[in-house]
Chain A
Amino acid sequence: MSALARQRRHALLLLFVPGFLYLFVVRIVPAVFTLGMSFTKWNLQSGRPPVFDGVANYATLLHDHSFLTSVVRTLLFSAAATTIELVLGLAIALLLNRRFPARRLVRTLALAPMVITPAVVGMIWFILFDNTVGPLNWLLSLAGLGPVGWLTNPAIVMGSVLLADVWHWTPFMFLLCLAALQAVPAESLEAAAVDGATPLQSLRLVLLPAIADTLLVAAVLRAMSAFELFAEPYVMTGGGPGDATDTLSLHIYKSAFLFFNMGYTGAMIVVSVGILVALYSISLRFGPRAA
């Protein structure tokens, strides 16, 4: 073995292997453990060790109304949030891609919500939605509307969570759309204009096809993280009123850390990861190039 090869081996062992093993033990092993525990009957409070129970947990899940409802609720939320935020984000990117004074400052300010701590986003909207300290119902009353039970009316509370999410994550979509728009060569837009295209035509025929891949990646990333929504409803509603904002992550959290049904919760986790993988595969079919 040459000196360099030996030194490379040395560097591999010294710089790579420890970090890799660490990651493997702390992230991969627990994931495998979760899969394993989904086939057991295991309540942490009972003090008894897990007992192998076959696919019993999965069979129960199929008839678990509150779990299935929370899956549907989360999927609907994820689809609505992704669509609204993508459209708004693209519109804002088109707007802020034009020339105007203080453009950098405006762009920076428009990005701010994206980095705000999710638990704080929950608190900010908890304050805004409140009847006594919040301004929203007062603003509505100026227009002769309301008052609205933003966080107390089960029929609309998911919409309130959605509103907070749109405020929080539209800037992320805007950022990705702006980056993609800036990469579109100016010549192709100029050529379209010379050919007499209206702004709307050049958007549809030149810009959108050029940034379609980015839009798809942005939508997939956002849909997946919206599917994991946790901190905001935890802070704003705790899943209520009733179970109106019981998202999948909240449902899993409660099942594990309030009722300590670890085996059953394991099955819920496996099913939700399965849904994520399925969604991901479907989206890849639509745009193989984006992968």
Chain B
Amino acid sequence: MSLRRRTPFSRLGLAFAIAALLVGTLFPLYYMLLTSLKPDATLLDQPPAFLFHPVLDHFKMLLSGNSFPRYYANSITVAVATTLLTVTLGSMMAYVMATIPFRLSGTAFFFILLPRTFPPITTLIPVFVAVRWLGMMDRLTTLILFETAACLPLVVWIMRGFIRTIPQSLLEASFVDGCTPAQGFFRIIVPLAAPGLAAVGIISFIDTWNAFLMPLVLTNFNAVTAPVGMLSYINAEEELVWGLVAAGAVLTILPVLIAAFTLNRFLLQGLTAGAVK
């Protein structure tokens, strides 16, 4: 129920404000989509063309080329592998932190969260030097290794909180039935924490997919990911490359948008549910 008086005027104002918000939020995305679908001939029209016969030329050119499909496949490999690794490692660590008391657990937690507060650039130079020295430059494995470490603190932190909300009596009952703590994790915690695992998995996926600095520094040809690879179209300085830039941008954000809409349920409901508690 609302205590505010509803006049036709305030309702009109509300509708206008919401419309303005949506236009401001969505116009940049819409314009990028338009640019990706414009035929080369209308691309540079001033005033910009908003009505035209859309063509898929840029997408075809991008996907039939040598580079972009490779960048894209790299991004998928790195994001999926990192997500699986972080969620597995992170939930195991969180389980131990939440259920097994041990000496120095507070110190350990501090050292797990500490790197989260460092800007990514702080560790990049030693990492770069070490990777070069070990001959691991430009490899997907290297990216996965370091992206996993970048995501891990957040996953441990969130999952530790999540696992604490699972009734300990369930776990203790499983110990009485002869489960070891390690078995308890796989048989009790993993099924019960599935929604939490899915949520942190999606967050890790988005984070890794969006990563820029790490792949920029640690790759140069074979392992280049989509966000970094896209730059070659901006720096090309050739004419009419705009369509490719826009098409690449559309394809690059597609997986993130899908992931985010899946996560939306957790964001708008999960987060607020937590806030009420």
Q: Which residues of A contact B (CB under 8 A)?
A: 4, 7-8, 10-12, 14-16, 18-20, 22-24, 26-31, 33-34, 37, 44, 92, 95-96, 98-100, 104, 106-120, 123-128, 130, 132-135, 138, 167, 171, 175, 178-180, 182-183, 189-190, 193, 199, 224, 227-228, 230-231, 234-235, 249, 252-253, 256-257, 262, 265-266, 269, 272-273, 276, 280
Could you pull out 5 A-B pairs where Cβ atoms are within 8 angstroms?
A27-B153, A98-B14, A127-B31, A178-B272, A190-B3
* A22-B149, A92-B21, A249-B121 known; A30-B127 Cβ under 8 A: yes
Nearest 5 interchain pairs by C-beta: A27-B115, A30-B126, A30-B123, A11-B181, A119-B227
Flag if B276 contacts A44 (CB, 8 Å): no
Q: 20 additional contacts, CB 8 Å, given A31-B122, A117-B252, A124-B28?
A: A4-B181, A15-B93, A20-B93, A26-B127, A95-B14, A95-B21, A96-B21, A98-B14, A99-B2, A100-B15, A106-B21, A106-B22, A108-B268, A115-B206, A123-B245, A125-B28, A138-B46, A183-B276, A189-B3, A256-B125
* A100-B18, A118-B210, A269-B121 known; A12-B25 Cβ under 8 A: no
Residues of B within 8 A of A124 (CB): 28-29, 31-32, 249
Query: Is B222 an interface residue when CB atoms closer than 8 A count as contact?
Result: no
Q: In the complex, what's the smallest C-beta–C-beta distance from B264 to chain A, in angstroms?
A: 5
Task: Convert B100-123 into 0s and 1s, putting 1 for each residue whose CB lies closer than 8 angstroms to a CB of A.
Answer: 101000001001101101111111
Residues of A within 8 A of B130 (CB): 30
Shortest Cβ distance from A104 into B: residue = B268
Residues of A within 8 A of B118 (CB): 27, 31, 273
Considering only CB atoms and an 8 Å cut-off, how many residues of chain B contact the other chain? 93
Task: Convert B35-50 into 0s and 1s, putting 1 for each residue whose CB lies closer than 8 angstroms to a CB of A.
Answer: 1000000011011100
| Bound-complex Cα distance A111 to B267 (A) | 10
Residues of A within 8 A of B145 (CB): 26
Secondary structure of the A contact surface, majority rule:
helix
| Bound-complex Cα distance A29 to B130 (A) | 11
* A120-B252, A256-B125 known; A115-B271 Cβ under 8 A: no
Flag if B149 contacts A95 (CB, 8 Å): no
From B24, B108, B126, give the contact of A37 (CB < 8 A). Answer: B126
Task: Convert B210-250 into 0s and 1s, putting 1 for each residue whose CB lies closer than 8 angstroms to a CB of A.
Answer: 10110011000000000110110010000000100110110
